[in-house]
Chain A
Amino acid sequence: MSEFVDLETQDGVRMTWNTFPGTKQEALSCVIPVAAMYTPLKPIPDTPVLPYSPLRCRICRSILNPFSVVDYVAKIWVCPFCFQRNHFPQHYMSISEENLPAELFPQYTTIEYASSPDTGPKMPSVFLFVVDTCLIEEEIMFLKSALSQAIELLPENSLVGLITFGTYVQVHELGFGHMPKSYVFKGSKEITKEQLLEQMCFFAGRPRPNVGVIAGPRDGLSPESIARFLLPASECEFVLNSVLEELPRDPWPVPADQRASRCTSTALSIAASLLGLCVPGSGARIMAFVGGPSTQGSGSIVSKNLSEPIRSHKDLDKGAAALYNKAVKFYEALSKQLVHQGHVLDLFACALDQVGVAELKVVVERTGGIVVLAESFGHSVFKDSLRRIFQSTDYDLGLAFNGVFEVNCSKDVKVQGIIGPCASLEKKGPLCAETVVGQGNTTAWKMCGLDKKTSLCLIFEIARKDGPESISQHTSNQFYFQFLTYYQHSDGQMRLRVTTLSRRWVTGSADVQDLLAGFDQEAAAAVMARLVSLKMEIEVFNNSPDETAYYRMILNRENVANAVVMIQPSLISYSFHSSPEPVLLDVTAIAADRILLLDSYFSVVVFHGASIAQWRNSGYQNQPEHETFAYLLKAPREEADAIMKERFPVPRLVVCDQHGSQARFLLVKLNPSVTYNSNNPPPPGGDILFTDDVSLEVFLDHLQRLAVQ
């Protein structure tokens, strides 16, 4: 397994099969599809950033890479994908075996190119805050303080805008010095980009160009008119803070039997249009802070009447959620718009209720946005996550914008699609498989937002028909992939990352061992998880549609390791008897003298056994003679902190004691091998689960029986 991790470290890629089944038929019988989990911006130490443009194959446009065969004498390189012979251009003339350009170094299978100043200016990143005001006073205070902290952390050169919404949408004109000023739009009415252009007086006093799409300064918008709404953070911090400080709750009265009138979709649509007008094609994020269900506008998820419950999975199954489809349709259109503009939607949904994440999922996912779900704006999951986005530390997210991802493969390997935070650019080619999975039928994808950990799952299809003959035709059974990622770096620079990989085919029963040796079980689990969640919208247990959507969105952007944690939480035991060790995710792992650390991705639980808790409550850890106990207590906390530092969204930290109410966060994840009605009593200090669920053992027995039959 570690070899796979090594490969990942080098290129950010993990594949289900590192040795490919040789034919389509064989691939099919492998059940687990040939797939790759690729983390385009994974930080790879020592990756050079080349300050020049890449050299491309004349025919297939693939980029010069270490796998290219170079004729140093003739100054020719052969494209490994199409076998085209390309001449080196003039400035490569000094090339020789001793004098190689970086892109030909064998260890630089992943390399970056940066745009030179003349190929493109640095573009400031744009943050447009879209803030819900239909909140109770307490929540709005939490939100304000979180936002004002975030504003302090904004990069100085980034542009900032503010939209608030409730019954109405208010677009704040932060550039108006005299008094707080905002444009107010009706929440129940959709408004197009054209109307916005008209209504926000972008052409005040000047004739409006009569043709073409109007967007951005290049098409006639004056920088001044844009600067009314999007200002450098350094310039508008004061105004922004004062507006936020006085931000009132939505002033419209809400009858006792009704939900607040909240027009989330209209606000987002206006935000999208505003960005589309002002900064099309340059990196920008809409950061939406939503504190409740949308009840107004095309994206509403429930009526205002409180007697009508918010849709559940059951309603969705039965088709009883009338608003759901309409909302999804609306958000699909919005996602197209945002993708077209290259902008991201980030969603911070903090409410005890559902807010419509399920409907919004399509936008967030297609644009590569961040999503954080918490129960309150005061909750650390939200506050810490928000801070993480802007904080520049070792653990920063490395937010990048406006990415385009392209794939190039050798013949006979086709791409079915990508499952992950991206949107098809509908660039069709011979590489596209007929079967489509996720965002398919293209060889290029838009990734409006991506970060260091964003991982794509590419599903391949082996197109080679027959075995022996075809193999024999080729002297080599090597073949290649090239992943190209164009993106706007968080510093504003445009970059291109190129990863070129080589794998080999095996075919026939003789090589089954080879095949098995190349099987990456973890990657397979992660890929299958994405595939299953893509195909299966039902059979969801115990979650609301919002939660389901949330978990899946996170799953679909995480790398293999984290996906595995999500699938099977890790459980580590701390005790006096041994150094920290992983233990089975089973109820039997509980013991009175143990501390358990559960990492289930979304939450991290530190669980003190009954005795440990007792000792701790007695304050032993404070006594010098019990220093080891203090250490024991501290160790899992430190580990938990380490996990939390690295993870985004920041997980919920639960510190609990055996038999405490919070212990449920651990218990729910454990295999119920011992329940209230099992025959074997728990060991002393152990625990039992009050559940009728079957244990893993029973499940496996059943599975075996089915498999055999």
Chain B
Amino acid sequence: MESASPFASGPPRQRPAMVSNPTSVVQTPLIGRSMAPSSSVPLPSPFGSALPGFSRPAATPLASRPPPPGAIPQGPIAGNGPRIPGFTAPRTLPPPSVQPAPPSAASSSIRPPTPYASATQDSGLQSYPGSPPSGASVATLPMPFVGPPASQQFGRPPTSQPLFSGPPRSQPPFAGAQYLQRPMAGSTNSQLPLAGPPTSQSPFLGPPTSQPPFTGPPTSQPPRPNTPQPPFAGLPTPQQFGGPSTQTLTGPPISQFVGPPTSQPYAGRSSSPSQMATPSSQPFSMPPTVGTSFGSPVWPSQPGQMVPSLPGNVQAPPRMFGMPPGMPGQPIPPVLPAMGHSALAGPQVSTQSKIDPNQIPRPLPNSSITIFETRQGNQANVPPVCIQSIFVVKDNGNCSPRLMRCTLNQIPCTGDLLSTSSMPFALMVQPLALPHPSDDPIPVVDFGESGPVRCSRCKSYINAFMRFIDHGRTFVCNLCGFTNETPRDYLCNLGPDGRRRDADERLELCKGTVEFVATREYMVRDPMPAVFFFLIDVSLNAIQTGATAAACSAISQSLADLPDGPRTMVGIATFDCSIHFYNLRRASQQPLMLIVPDIHDVYTPLHTDVVVPLTECRQSVEQLLESIPSLFENNKVSDSAFGAAIKAGFLALKPTGGKLLVFQSVLPSVGIGSLSSREAEGRTNASAGDKEAHKLLQPADKTLKTMAIEFAEYQVCVDIFITAQTFVDIASISVVPGTTGGQVYYYYPFSALSDPGKLYNDLRWNLSRPQGFEAVMRVRCSQGLQVQEYAGSFCKRIPTDIDLPAIDCEKTIMVTFKHDDKFQENSECAFQCALLYTTVYGERRIRVINLSLPCTSMLTNLFRTADLDTQFACILKQAASSIPVNSLSQVREQITNLCINILHAYRKFCATVSSSGQLILPEALKLLPLYTLALVKSIGLRNDGRFDDRSYWASHVMSLSISLAVPLVYPRMISIHDLTAKENDGSLSSSNIPLSSEHINDDGIYLLENGEDCLIYVGNMVNPDTLQKLFGVTSVDGLPTQLVLQQFDNDLSEKLSDVMNEIRQQRCSYLRLRLCKKGDPSGMHFMSYMIEDKTAGGLSYVEFLVHVHRQIQTKMA
């Protein structure tokens, strides 16, 4: 029954490693190849062997890395591992970047941490302290976490705080408040998972980037830092702060920011902050000194200590922050002065100058691993910040936050309370999300022929929160409150605690997520086989740009990653102004080309043999793929019948359902669903000030939508790989994947040199990632709430369910709710997501994901437990869905106003004590302004973007997971010219640089990635030796515009490969490489990502804070 495997069927399949083709492997040019051997092998295990991973880090050869994809999670883990003495040394690296930060401050700040540590211990976390020091194995860490019950701690924190505040090292002022809180956070290390511990140490980190003190430490050590954290564990107390874990930005606030920044980097995760604190205490202390000299080895040592990693704790810390309110009052004020926040204070004053840009909140990476228990003490735990944090989930009744999390970790009792807070209220559901290898596996439960027990009224599935009464003879549904009779064969007596005696044995009664084996009742037909149909553009443009060859090669190599077995079927068709099918199963081996020329009324030319079992026809499929580029090499047809082609592909898949993977290179110009080049006219209109320009982001007509709905009905999912050089009207095209559970991949402008690698890796991941077919999903919630809307890639035919012809581990669905009744203060509000789907191996399953959250009537609780990552993902998606409807300026205004309203609500109702001159940020949301600013400046909302870019952005965002949402708009930047100088084991994340041009030096080389693209910026004064090492050229001018990273035989290059591979693993994306040179248009492009800068169309970060502050003050007045 209970199989641990995350994907019911699947465990077997490993994720494909994102092989970097080019970079790592020698073969570079060839896309697929590199992947193969080395990389892939390691990967599989990744998850499984989490621990081992740690030790490995050092060992793993860089070159091979590619495999990572699967490994991704591990990557970070590995980082933590560093503990081993040997390793530590190497790791030092990261820090360097931070350097700029004020060393002095750092040192001071660092120390404070120690004190904290002690404080924490008081709280009872003692265990932590001990453990960390040992720096021992990760395993130990988890324990500690468990130990510290968040609740208890709460009380304490306050006490502790003072201490902290005291400590507030350098930045003290700011830090002060935050730190205190942070300490908790510090413990939270969790955040950093990937980033590498460095961040976690945050105390420093927080600042790390920006502020010297923090920066110093944070960057480098990240992983190690964890150790320190343990102490923090004590932190839990922070929660108590409960109230508003705000950070005050006010004049002083700024200082606070600083504090927060360090920790917070990772959004809500107060953890970071806490980490800061804690870590700082011990490890940090060290770092501080180091701080100045990031590069300095010091860090390494720390890391070891840090190890602690208290994922669980981490969370707690955040809450601590909540304290800030209180905190602010005390510590902050002092701080303020220091900060010179006066500016802020005086709304009118344009005090920007006074705000220290290094002190404002920024995300802090955290590399430690934490353990997150979904419930403790019969209460829901607040999940860790997910950005760059590594945590291991222990499922205690609530689901893993990877699968489903809410924007609010306490549910407002009334709709009024919610609207007062202005915060968005939604669930993000990623039902097949990749687990961490050490996560509790999702059990499979088989109820036999009777199927899973369900509430007879609302049909919700049995779960841990259903209450059995009357000696177990009846149970009360936690969603609708109906009293059901317990099925006879499911009867069990209740124990003295009121629980069923078998509650702990029956996984559906103790786990937040379970997978039920579906019975016949859940099938309208036999579970469908895994069918993959490839449609390749062979029009003139596609042939000439090499897109066809790249697609064929990618497909050919990816065949190996398709699920094994006789049920896996493939088909291939090509198209230009007509559609070419291939009969692959013929006596003569040679395929037969069948052309469907009628592109207004499409059909399949054969009844069978268009889609064939892979095992039988692999050879002919491969041969065909090999010959397609030459078959069409003289093709003169420039038209594309895209619409007709997908229709034809659909018809081929109609009997079974399946995935349709389309490789498209030009604007669909003929046949069904043909489109016009409306961008040109759009541009004219836009320049003429046409306010209707956003209409170009709407589909041109309903044809494709209608088709897509039909596709969905027959369980056909469409993924589109756009390898274009010109406008292809993604706004219209993306409707198809958007409705069928697919996605758009966009390679613009397609380069036959540098893009095939990504194309191949994208395809490979698309095919081999955990996924399911013919799925139906419904989210149920307790009475008092109702589902308002679903958003994502799916088709909705009836109000309550969404149809997903395919669902994979990356697809995220947002579900918004509204109140239709009140909740009792002490009740819990339950959410249940049920996903009925077919695995790639043809098993029918129902994955049931449960989340039960406490209800509150206190606004402060709402803010304290707010989940910034999730909220931001929600805001991002809402922005994406409104850009086709409203003008850009309206959307930007809406977003900015939302930010202001939230902060205003907090200011008004939760931080009334503060002086009016202060900008107060709730601890959990302290990065909201930064993210909001980043969003306003993102590709989707910028005025200067191409329509296709914006449409792609919007379609990409709609099903984007939480963990990728923030990086998309707030990318990660690291320096790479000094990689070898950093003491580190190769985990990159520690050294994040704030996205500000101030941090870009002419002699530096920087890498910026947002999960999609990876820009490498080369300054104009770079040391030729560095260039030689990294790119094999000696001058900036000699750099090719189309970059293909090769690994050269030197440390720096190897390091870069490691970094690239780590990022790729982390993002499950190969990343599109682009080389940017200073003084070049590409350099300008790079600079457009410097969102903290003031730009023609936007405020700088500091200005934005001032703006927000003013607006709030206006409202307050």
Contacts and interface: CB of A to CB of B under 8 A. Distances in A.
Interface in A190-206: 191, 195, 199-201, 204-206
B597 A205 contact: no
A179 B594 contact: no
B235 to A, nearest CB: 69
B578 A168 contact: no
A170 B597 CA distance: 11
A699 interface: no
A255 to B, nearest CB: 13
Nearest to A177: B631
Contacts of A702: none
Given A178-B630, A178-B631, A246-B586, A183 B637 contact: no
Interface string B579-605: 001000011101111111111010101
Contacts of B599: 199
B349 interface: no
A168 B577 contact: no
A252 B607 CA distance: 5
Interface string B637-662: 11000000000000000000000000
B443 to A, nearest CB: 44
Interface string A163-196: 0000010100100101111111110010100010
Contacts of A189: 598, 601
B598 A185 contact: yes
Given A179-B631, A184-B605, A252-B607, A205 B593 contact: no
Given A189-B601, A204-B637, A180 B607 contact: no
A246 B587 contact: yes
Contacts of A183: 578, 595-597
B577 A201 contact: yes
A201 B579 CA distance: 12
Interface residues of A, number: 27
A251 B607 contact: yes
Given A179-B590, A180-B592, A246-B587, A199 B597 contact: yes
B639 to A, nearest CB: 9
Contacts of B631: 178-179
Contacts of B594: 170, 181-182, 184
Chain A CB within 10 Å, residue with most, of B590, B597, B601, B606: B597
Contacts of A191: 598
Q: What interface size band does chain B fall in?
A: 20 to 34
A284 B630 CA distance: 34
B336 interface: no
A253 interface: yes
A201 B586 contact: no
Given A179-B592, A189-B601, A205-B638, A251 B578 contact: no
Contacts of A206: 636
B1095 interface: no
A182 B595 contact: yes
B598 A201 contact: no
B593 A181 contact: yes
Contact of B597 (A180, A200, A246, A252): A200
B590 A181 contact: no
A184 B651 CA distance: 15
B627 interface: yes
A168 B637 CA distance: 24
A384 to B, nearest CB: 30
User: Which of B587, B592, B630 has most A Cβ within 10 Å?
Assistant: B592
Contacts of B540: 205
B677 interface: no
Given A199-B597, A204-B637, A205-B638, A178 B609 contact: no
Contacts of A195: 598
Contact of A185 (B581, B597, B627, B636): B597
A205 B596 contact: no
A179 B591 contact: yes
Contacts of B603: 168, 184, 186
A197 to B, nearest CB: 11
Prevailing SS type, chain A contact patch = loop
Given A178-B627, A180-B593, A251-B607, A246 B578 contact: no
Contacts of A205: 540, 636-638
B605 A168 contact: yes
B596 A184 contact: yes
A182 B606 CA distance: 12
Nearest to A181: B593
B1001 interface: no
B608 interface: yes
A201 B578 contact: yes
A252 B637 CA distance: 31
Nearest to A189: B601
Contacts of B586: 246
Nearest to B593: A181
Interface in A234-290: 242, 246, 251-253
Nearest to A186: B603
A419 to B, nearest CB: 40
Contacts of B597: 183-185, 199-201
Contacts of B587: 246
A170 B598 CA distance: 12
Nearest to B636: A205
A62 B588 CA distance: 61
Interface in A33-51: none
Contacts of A199: 578, 597-599
Task: Find the residue from A170, A184, A206, A246 having the highest chain B CB count within 10 A.
Answer: A184
A191 B596 CA distance: 13
A276 to B, nearest CB: 17
Nearest to B586: A246
B592 A251 contact: no
Contact of B606 (A180, A181, A201, A251): A251
A346 to B, nearest CB: 26
Given A179-B591, A246-B588, A251-B609, A186 B637 contact: no
A181 B595 contact: yes
A168 B581 CA distance: 14
Of the candidates A176, A178, A206, A252, the one having the most CB atoms from chain B within 10 angstroms of its own CB is: A178
A168 B596 CA distance: 10
Nearest to A184: B605
B573 to A, nearest CB: 12
A170 B596 CA distance: 9
Contacts of A186: 598, 601, 603
Interface in B619-643: 627, 630-631, 635-638
A184 B607 contact: no
Contacts of B601: 186, 189
Interface in B145-162: none
A182 B587 CA distance: 17
Contacts of A246: 586-588, 592
A179 B593 contact: yes
A326 B578 CA distance: 31
Given A178-B630, A189-B601, A251-B606, A184 B595 contact: yes
A179 B592 CA distance: 6
Contacts of B581: 184
Interface of A: 168, 170, 173, 176, 178-186, 189, 191, 195, 199-201, 204-206, 242, 246, 251-253
29 contacts: A170-B594, A170-B605, A173-B595, A178-B631, A179-B631, A180-B593, A181-B594, A182-B593, A184-B594, A184-B595, A184-B596, A185-B597, A186-B598, A186-B603, A189-B601, A195-B598, A199-B597, A201-B577, A201-B578, A204-B577, A204-B635, A205-B540, A206-B636, A246-B586, A246-B592, A251-B606, A251-B607, A251-B608, A251-B609
Given A183-B578, A200-B597, A204-B577, 20 more contacts: A168-B603, A170-B605, A173-B595, A176-B593, A178-B630, A180-B592, A181-B592, A181-B594, A182-B594, A183-B595, A183-B597, A184-B596, A186-B601, A195-B598, A199-B598, A199-B599, A201-B597, A201-B637, A246-B592, A251-B607
A-B residue pairs, 3 tightest by C-beta: A205-B636, A199-B597, A184-B605
